[in-house]
Amino acid sequence: MAYEGGLAAPHHVVIEDRKSLTVSGVEDVERFDENTIVLSTSRGAMVVAGENLHIEKLSLDGGDLKVDGDIDSVSYEEESAGRGGFLSRLLR
């Protein structure tokens, strides 16, 4: 998802009480289950880990995602890692 002129879409992450996560700049959800959500954002691959994770809202047109559950961590995959990185191991 890119703005006119090739600039990346804005990317914001808000975590409330480790129970609610809101992310903007979401381009795609690669994989999800109750413990892990893997997504592509305008700033790279993001991995959300926790328990009882549920996608409450997803709008790829607007680039918005809202997740509820017990959030343990949010991390980013390095873009330079390519297909041999952590993200590819998660997707196997």
Domain boundaries, the chain: 13-90
pTM above 0.85, yes or no: no
State the chain's mean pLDDT as an integer.
86
Alpha-carbon distance of 23 to 47, in angstroms, equals: 12
* Model pLDDT for residues 19-33, shown as the tens digit of each residue: 999 999 999 999 999
H/E stretch holding 20? strand 20-24
- CATH number 2.60.40.2000 given to 13-90: yes
